[in-house]
Amino acid sequence: MACVLITGANRGLGLEFARQYAAEGDRVLATCRDPAGAADLAAIAGDVTVHALDVTDLRQISALAESLEGAPIDILVNNAGVLTSGQRTGGIDYVAWEHEFKVNTMGPIAVAQAFRPHLERGTGRRMAFISSVLASIGGNTDGGYTLYRSTKAGLNAAVKSLAVEAAAKGIIVLALHPGWVRTDMGGASAAIDPATSVRGLRRQIAAAGRQDSGRFITYEGVEIPW
Ligand SMILES: NC(=O)c1ccc[n+]([C@@H]2O[C@H](COP(=O)([O-])OP(=O)(O)OC[C@H]3O[C@@H](n4cnc5c(N)ncnc54)[C@H](OP(=O)(O)O)[C@@H]3O)[C@@H](O)[C@H]2O)c1
């Protein structure tokens, strides 16, 4: 069975990742900002341990990586993300933009760098980054969402470099769009439920070969233009 580390596992897609991997019998290292308040996560049956992790806190990332030093990790799911409300109109809140960069761009890369040795000790060797179709510069015909688009596009650029760099160690790195999903972020009128999205994302993560590393694809495996 695989060992999977997930960020932002207390709600939304992260919680569903934890549920589905645990249901498969995998070992889940579920991380979130406030373990004491993560009741839904605590209710999951199976081999699930919960660890405090704010992905903007570089010291906390290093400390967790150190405390889990003995644990080989097969799959890293960099899921935690934020979308500041009010972006559709094009107005810019620069403080919020800086925070979004920390959560959506720098945080996932810092987590990936800290846990790369654990991945090298595992056999699965997969890093999944939950990006967004809104990161696609080629696909941007509507404008708006400046903060979110730029932070996820920045993530994609860094993910591509990581894919190239990690290839020598056989680590497969993917940027994935989960679809428009009914979570707190996606809203109640989104197109699909978290279970459908995560089933598809898990399928893409499991099926990816070395030739797929560095791709930007949807939960259904469709290529997205950068
Ligand atoms: N839903 C969609 O339609 C959609 C579409 C495209 C991409 N995505 C991406 O999919 C991922 C999951 O989104 P979601 O829909 O599940 O969103 P969500 O329901 O809003 O959940 C976001 C998760 O990220 C966590 N998080 C936020 N800031 C964090 C930080 N500094 N450190 C650690 N965790 C933090 C949240 O934890 P707290 O509870 O502590 O805030 C929560 O667990 C995100 O990367 C998002 O950008 C979602």
Indicate whether residue 200 lines ligand 1 (CB < 6 A). Answer: no
Q: pLDDT tens digits for 32-52?
A: 999 999 999 999 999 999 999
| Residue 89, pLDDT score | 65
Instruction: Name the pLDDT band for 94 (thresholds 50, 70, 90).
Output: very high
The stretch 100-106 carries a mean pLDDT of 98
Question: Rounded to an integer, what distance in angstroms lies between the CA atom of residue 170 and that of residue 187?
Answer: 37
Choosing from 19, 82, 196 the residue with most ligand 1 atoms within 8 A of its CB, the one to mutate for a pocket test is 82
Question: Rounded to an integer, what distance in angstroms lies between the CA atom of residue 108 and that of residue 6?
Answer: 11
Secondary structure, 3-state, 109-165: HHHHHHHHHHHHHCCCCEEEEECCHHHCCCCCCCCCCHHHHHHHHHHHHHHHHHHHH
Question: Rounded to an integer, what distance in angstroms lies between the CA atom of residue 83 and that of residue 196?
Answer: 21
**92 closest CA partner among 49, 143, 52:** 143
Q: Counting atoms of ligand 1 from 1, which one is nearest the CA of 103?
A: 31
Six token digits for residue 115: 């846990």
Q: What is the pTM of this model?
A: 0.98
The stretch 137-148 carries a mean pLDDT of 94
Choosing from 20, 33, 87 the residue with most ligand 1 atoms within 8 A of its CB, the one to mutate for a pocket test is 33
Beta strands 126-130; 172-177: pairing state: parallel
Backbone φ, ψ for residue 193 (5° rounding) = -90, 160
CA gyration radius, the chain: 16
Residue 148 annotated to the active site = yes
**Residue-range domains of the chain with CATH:** 3-218 (3.40.50.720)
The stretch 124-134 carries a mean pLDDT of 98
Instruction: Name the pLDDT band for 23 (thresholds 50, 70, 90).
Output: very high
**30 closest CA partner among 20, 12, 40, 15:** 15
